[in-house]
Every structure is written in C-alpha cells, then in structure tokens.
Amino acid sequence: MIGWLPGLFNDIWVPPAVCDEPQEGGSRGHDVPDIGRQAWLHVVNPRATPSEWLALDLGPGELAAMALAIENPAPVILLDDLLARRTARAAGLSAWGTLKVLLEARAQGITNEIAPLVARLDEAGLWLTDEVRRRILALAGEPESSWTTGLLAPLSPRRGAAPANRPLSCYPRVAATFPAVTMRLSAPM
C-alpha cells in the first residue's frame, strides 16, 4: 500500500525519525518496507517542534511529522495515532489515517476493493470496531457481500473494547503500513 502514495500525493516528505520506526519493526521480525529508500520520498528534518507537544504521549515520528507539516504550506499528514491526529487537527493541520488513504485510493481507482486490506489492518493490530469497518466499506461503495465472505472475520474477544491507553505505535506492523508522513495532495485523476 505504501506504493500508492505517489499516486495520491504530489510531494511526500518524511522526517528521519519516521524512517527509523519501520527499521525497528523489521529488527523485531515484522515485514515492513524500508521507506527511506523510496525514490519518490523526500527525507526532511523539521526545524523545530512546538515545546507543548513534548509533554504529550507521542512518539518521535509523530512529533517530527507534525512539526514538518506545520512548517510547510497546505500539507496532509498521515497519522494513525488518535492523539496525534487530534493534536494535528488542533494545530490546523489536515490529518488522515490509513483508512482515509484506503478510501482515497479506492475513489481514484488505485485499487478496486479495500475490504481485504481493512481485514489485513485488523489482523495486524489496528483496533477497528465492527461499526467503523462497516462505515468505511460502505463509504467505499463495496457490496455487503464482500464484508461477509470471510474477508472480515468477526471481532475476536480481544477486540471487545478499545485497548486502554494503548497508542497505535504499540502495533509496529500497523505503524509501518502508513507511518507518520507529511504530503501535499495531488490533483484528482
């Protein structure tokens, strides 16, 4: 899925702190891409991070990506951590999560269906309620039959309630799917 980003965005910037996160997941045995080696990716350090953000329970990748987004005009920032997205939006940034990227990829014809991808995210540890899954797939215009053919298994018992105080960064396979990235939208295709 990371290869879809150039089809969705004109410029894609990532701070070095974000490039380090997938390497950490890879060292733990997770199959993650080496995002720093993508030819279309610009690795850029932010000049400064707002000091009030340092007290938040956010990782260095999220903090650096948000700081980079503030320094550049009209960015969209990809963040799956809920606190990071809320912080980015409070700072006036447009924050997308992985599910929004899937919807945009579907809308622009980059993929024909997202149900299998949503299922993979769920299996990798991205906490999704049944309602969120249903809503995302309905927004994608995917027929209900694609949701019930085993692609989206019922929630396992561990998914009965939201994990208490457990940010997405605790799920390295998911964090590596679309790490905190700053980019500019491309024109619709």
Domain total for the chain? 2
Collect all residues with Cβ–Cβ distance below 8 Å to 178 and sequence separation of at least 6.
1, 2, 5, 78, 80, 97, 98, 101
185 band by pLDDT with thresholds 50, 70 and 90: very low
Burial class (CB in 10 A: 0-12, 13-18, 19+), 13: buried
**pLDDT at residue 124, as a whole number:** 77
| 65 falls within a domain | yes
Higher pLDDT, 77 or 166: 77
| 172 falls within a domain | no
- Percent of the chain at pLDDT above 70? 69
Collect all residues with Cβ–Cβ distance below 8 Å to 39 and sequence separation of at least 6.
none
| Together in a domain, 32 and 82 | yes
| Together in a domain, 56 and 92 | yes
| Together in a domain, 153 and 73 | no
| Together in a domain, 23 and 51 | yes
| 21 falls within a domain | yes
| 168 falls within a domain | no
pLDDT at 155 over 50: no
**pLDDT at residue 147, as a whole number:** 55
| Together in a domain, 43 and 79 | yes
| Together in a domain, 86 and 125 | no
**pLDDT at residue 23, as a whole number:** 65
**pLDDT at residue 152, as a whole number:** 39
pLDDT at 21 over 60: yes
pLDDT at 148 over 80: no
| 167 falls within a domain | no
| 164 falls within a domain | no
| Together in a domain, 110 and 63 | no
| Together in a domain, 22 and 87 | yes
Q: Which domain holds residue 72?
A: 2-97+179-185
| 171 falls within a domain | no
| 174 falls within a domain | no
